[in-house]
Amino acid sequence: MFLTNFLRWLDATHFSQWMRGSILAEPIVESTHVLTLTLFLGFAVLLDLRLLGVVMRKRPVSEVLDQFNPYLMWGFAVMIVSGVLLFSGDPLSFYSTIFFKIKMILLVFAGLNVLIFNATIRKKVAEWDLAAKTPRAAKIAAVVSLLLWVAIVAAGRAIAYALPPP
């Protein structure tokens, strides 16, 4: 009940009405969301492929992590902010779709995957940084990441087709 009341309140705010009524706001915010998703996903896929030993095999994982993390963090932050702005433009419609709910659940799992990786596998990167083979746990984290991000993008795209026409 609280969530429904909150969504109704958000839907009635001036900002939400402005996002729905503006000719430029929604396309600009959506373009920002898609472009930062592309930036984030590009670096995330490269990092996952490095963990799998497919690309950049001669570069230490710690070096790749240190180089990519700023782009991953900034891309993720802008992607989340722009996603929240998009959601606030029509919260009742977005929340009514199964694909939005699936995307949110998958985002939680992706976040947990990163937290688990950083709390366990990454802490021991000095032990395996230059090893010929990446540890199995790192490879599992990479495969889980790749699968989750493919599903997140698919669910995100499906939201647009599940929304009721304006």
Number of residues that this document lists for the chain: 166
The encoded tokens of residue 29 equal 């915010």
Check if the beta carbon of residue 49 is closer than 8 Å to that of residue 142: yes
Averaged over 99-104, what is the pLDDT? 96
From the list 21, 128, 32, the residue with the least C-alpha distance to 80 is 32
From the list 166, 67, 153, the residue with the least C-alpha distance to 110 is 153
pTM (2 d.p.)? 0.89
Rounded to whole angstroms, the Cα distance separating 71 from 3 reads: 33
The encoded tokens of residue 74 equal 């900034």
Rounded to whole angstroms, the Cα distance separating 151 from 44 reads: 14
Which residue has better confidence, 139 or 57? Answer: 139
The encoded tokens of residue 26 equal 């929604």
Averaged over 5-9, what is the pLDDT? 93
Q: What pLDDT is stored for residue 166 in this prediction?
A: 62
